[in-house]
Amino acid sequence: MKKEDRKAKELLRKYLRWPLAAALLALAAGALSLCGGRQAEIGAALVTLLSALLCLRLYFSQRKNIEKAMVNYGISMDELQKRLSEDLDVPYALADQGGNFLWQNRAMRALLKEQHCASKSVSDLFPEMSLTDLAKIGESADYHLALGNLEFRIRFTRTGEAENRVFAVVLYDETEIRRLQEEADRRRLTAGLVYIDNYEEAMESVDEVRRSLLMAMIERKIVRYFDTMDAIAKKLEKDKYFFVVERQHMEAMQQNHFDILEQVKTVNIGNEMRVTLSIGVGDNGSTYAECYEFARQAIDLALSRGGDQAVVKDHENISYYGGKSNSTEKSTRVKARVKAQAFRELIENRDQLFIMGHKIADIDSVGAAVGIWRIAQAMNKKAHIVLSRANSSVKPILDRLRGGEYPEDMFLDEEQALKLFDDTCVVVVVDTNRPAIVEAPKLLEAARTVVVLDHHRQSQDSIRGAALSYIETYASSACELVSEIVQYIPDGVKLRAAEADAMYAGIVIDTHNFVNQTGVRTFEAAAFLRRNGADVTRVRKMFREKIEDYRAKAEAVHNAEIYRGAFAISECPSEGLDSPTIVGAQAANDLLDIVGIKASIVITQYNGRLYLSARSIDEVNVQVMMEKLGGGGHRTVSGAQLEGVTPEEARNRIKAVLDEMIEKGEIA
């Protein structure tokens, strides 16, 4: 200890002893005063005077020495603190309100020298930190910033008044912690499921003696793929696998767009049908059980979108990969029968149904709704079709269904439906699975029991929590699905001619006269409707075009731009047309008849919005294309809506999406 420090301590001890002496004198004066008499009073007064003189002497003679000792002690402590700050292993600095360094300790100077920095301010050292950020700091704030190859948590502590503000800047090196966190994140396990989409159909396409060989080759492809990633793959059933893989390998699979989807298609021992896979991966779950649940949800979504794709799901996001093949039509109708019986059981104890399709309903939406309405009537249930607005192509069907032998409340708008709705009602949604585009969104929100019947691929924003969901992407139309359900409802349902015409028309329109997305079951559904009174001639007359529509469609085809030699992009005029969006969709269909066109996109401006109609035959998944523009639909038939953009800007967006898909290999 320094001599000055010892002297200061001795003075402080003396200073603390003097009040004790004064206290003793005060006690003596009090004792004398209790004795009584004049002599005692004089003695008490003298003792009190002596105590006062002692205090005055202490104040005047020792005050300066005490103050000097205290100042010297404070200076020594400040020097100690400064020395400790200078020798601190953590980089430390003081900066003014402009971020300029006022002082740096030895560790900070060494760090700057090591990083070859001659920074004189915080913003020079960390360009991400601006004066605005410094001004927003309250008492203190932490930032995570990088310097060279090092990563720091930087704490700014504010001191001083506003005009003389000073920041204490402390840098905590988190490089090793971050490295360990990243390593742990890369090695975190994710769960996944692999399903063979068309196992039964592929097996049936080869001789019985070669089936085991085909299965062995498929399994070899799958096992080898996961072996290269040190993953655990376990066969659950003949066509289902479970796997666990480190996240770093899962990221590699994503970067390669899950190339196992393409590898397995190369397996060919004479099988007429190529094998396709669906993959669901659950990532970023708080537990392994939650990762598995995410994987299960992802595989369900992959299957509902038609298979031949991988879906990765975590807490926030869903990513899609693949989806280049057409959905495989199931030859068995077991699922349709099971869904029909489940639907019957669901509505047996309900008194009222509300049926709706998508906004600006087309004939497929109306036809499917009419089929469900007839089922309800056959079961003696009250039913209403919610229809506020439909395009002009539906008018001939609606004219036949309104009035006459049909009740007046068969069709209601959203407001009328809400007045009749209660918690015991069932809402049936047809021809869409997205809540944002249903005919009556408020009705859907209010419903406790929802049934979804659709043929479009599911997207991330599909209807959740449905009591019954029947979504088959291989189906040509919603009318095809409903016609199968009608056949399997017990007690039989007899369609009237107008209803059969409506459903038959829905199939005709969505298949473009049985050309697109048509399978064996499509023709079987059409045959069933024909047996119930559907008339081909009546339906054809219903959909004859007006001359204005024909001219607009011809103009759209005439003005089409062929982008990159394979994609037709055009704009359909809407002036003077009753249903310009329908005409635009028809123009997109016609553009596919041009040699070399892989996909067509037609832009139609209507009611302040741009409606995009995208079509393809088999080479391009236009659903993925439209999802990138905020829409969706089917693999070969899809669409989107844009607001606040011009047709030229829409063209540029479409071209940018096409360029991106080609670059990523999503389009050959």
How confident is the model at residue 567, as a pLDDT? 94
Q: Which residues of the chain have pLDDT under 70?
A: 1-45, 47-48, 51-52, 54-87, 116, 118, 160-164, 323-332, 490-492, 668
Number of other residues whose CB lies within 10 A of the CB of residue 558? 9
Mark out the alpha helices in 386-468 (DSSP H runs).
Answer: 395-401, 414-420, 441-446
Helices H / strands E in the chain, number of each: 24, 23
pLDDT tens digits for 428-471? Answer: 999 998 888 899 999 999 998 999 999 887 777 788 888 998 88
Give the C-alpha distances (Å, rounded to integers) separating 4 from 12, 61, 208, 553.
12, 19, 104, 102
pTM (2 d.p.):
0.61
Alpha-carbon span 321 to 127, nearest angstrom: 37
Residue whose entry in the numeric block shows the structure tokens 């599911």: 458
Q: How far apart are the first and last CA of the chain?
A: 83
Number of other residues whose CB lies within 10 A of the CB of residue 387? 23
Alpha-carbon span 469 to 89, nearest angstrom: 63
DSSP assignment string, 237-251:
ETTEEEEEEEHHHHH
Q: Say which residues have a Cβ less than 8 Å from residue 224's Cβ, sequence separation at least 6.
A: none
How confident is the model at residue 92, as a pLDDT? 81
Q: Indicate the DSSP class of residue 390.
A: B
pLDDT tens digits for 560-591? Answer: 999 999 999 999 998 888 788 888 988 998 99
Question: Cα angle vertex 523, ends 517, 527, to 5°?
Answer: 150
Number of other residues whose CB lies within 10 A of the CB of residue 532? 21
Q: Kindly give the interhelix angle for 580-591 and 547-558, rounded to the nearest 10 degrees.
A: 50
